[in-house]
Amino acid sequence: MASSTDINELFKNFKPKHKFFIGIDSDGCVFESMGIKQRECFCPWMIACFGLQPVAEAARQCKEFADLFSRTRGANRHKTIVRILTELLPNHPMVLERGFQVPQFKYYCEWVNNPQSILSDVGLKNAIKEARNDEARMELSIVLKWSTIVNRAVGDIVRDVPPFPYVHQSLEKMSHAADIVVVSATPGETLEREWQQQDIAKYVRVIAGQEMGSKQQQIHLATTGKYASDHILMIGDAPGDMLAARSNNALFYPINPGHEITSWKRFFEEASDRFIECHYASQYESSLITEFNACLPEYPPWLCKMI
């Protein structure tokens, strides 16, 4: 099993041991950790570092919606912050009533929206070094401080969170038939710790975190030219996981937010066999994705009332 190194080096020598490949997300998919991470680590420090104290309650609602209960669930932390600062929070009724001006963070938004940016702490440090003026450097340094504190808080607070029921059984079952790789936007160090603590790292061949590029890139490098497209499955709990699968012509199995145990039970008892027997695609997969999409609305309640 490889740890976090350069993405190309990581997958250069990755050779199939089985005919099937399963990529699997971690936060919110394998572990019931997204809620505690967002509510106890990401959100409080977002309010502190981005100067959102006057509208803290609105900020909390926006963070929970964006990261847990909407189409951007599971997205990169920086993309979500930009969505909150530019779209969700400025239109929240509490913010409008108070006349609060949401901080702009212009240079940060430019960095996040640049397709060439590597949206990780390493990429942020490089952006600070290359910043064109002091204002940009200061702005990006605030964000790096937030991200660093969040990582530390996750390490301090999020401990001994077990996998969902049926995860362990599913990994053990599928490890005999498929090459399993963790495909995640979580920092690699966190992933290594969580998977080792719960004794499930032994079932996967590679643990790839945010330092290894996007989920789409991870799947591409791990599977291209190595597996038939209908032999590749991504298991995830967020639209970004489905997009990563579709971008690589792979199949997708959804872990429905709020119904995780039911989803894993169905995978263990039914969907995993359909995948290995090549009876998963088409109508069966489509019905699962319809259920999944219904769990994650695009707009929050306060915007729905305005549209």
CATH number at residue 18: 3.40.50.1000
Q: With respect to residue 303, please indicate whether it lies within any of the assigned structural domains.
A: no
Q: Which residues of 121-151 are buried (b: 16+ CB within 10 A; e: fewer)?
A: bebbeebbeebeeeebbebbebbbebbebbb
pLDDT (0 to 100) of residue 9: 72
The answer on 127 and 104 residing in a single domain is: yes
The answer on 238 and 130 residing in a single domain is: no
pLDDT (0 to 100) of residue 7: 63
- From 110, 133, 157, the end of a domain falls on 157
The answer on 268 and 210 residing in a single domain is: yes
For the cut 50, the answer to whether the pLDDT of residue 215 exceeds it is yes
Q: How far is residue 6's CA from residue 295's CA, in Å, rounded to a whole number?
A: 35
User: In this predicted model, what pLDDT tens digit does every residue of 109-136 receive, in sequence order?
Assistant: 999 999 999 888 999 999 999 998 999 9
User: In this predicted model, what pLDDT tens digit does every residue of 219-237 receive, in sequence order?
Assistant: 999 999 999 999 999 999 9
The answer on 38 and 142 residing in a single domain is: yes
The answer on 258 and 150 residing in a single domain is: no
Q: With respect to residue 249, please indicate whether it lies within any of the assigned structural domains.
A: yes
Q: How far is residue 305's CA from residue 307's CA, in Å, rounded to a whole number?
A: 6
The answer on 182 and 120 residing in a single domain is: no
Give the model's confidence band at 305: pLDDT under 50 very low, under 70 low, under 90 confident, else very high.
low
Domain extent for 147: 34-157
- From 130, 157, 184, the end of a domain falls on 157
Give the model's confidence band at 3: pLDDT under 50 very low, under 70 low, under 90 confident, else very high.
very low
Count the residues in the chain: 307
The answer on 151 and 41 residing in a single domain is: yes
The answer on 264 and 201 residing in a single domain is: yes
The answer on 281 and 241 residing in a single domain is: yes
The answer on 66 and 28 residing in a single domain is: no
User: In this predicted model, what pLDDT tens digit does every residue of 13-27 receive, in sequence order?
Assistant: 789 999 999 999 999
Please tell me the total count of domains within the chain: 2
**Model's pTM, two decimal places?**
0.79
- From 112, 142, 157, the end of a domain falls on 157
The answer on 25 and 168 residing in a single domain is: yes
pLDDT (0 to 100) of residue 11: 77
- Least-confidence region, from 8-17, 78-87, 154-163: 8-17
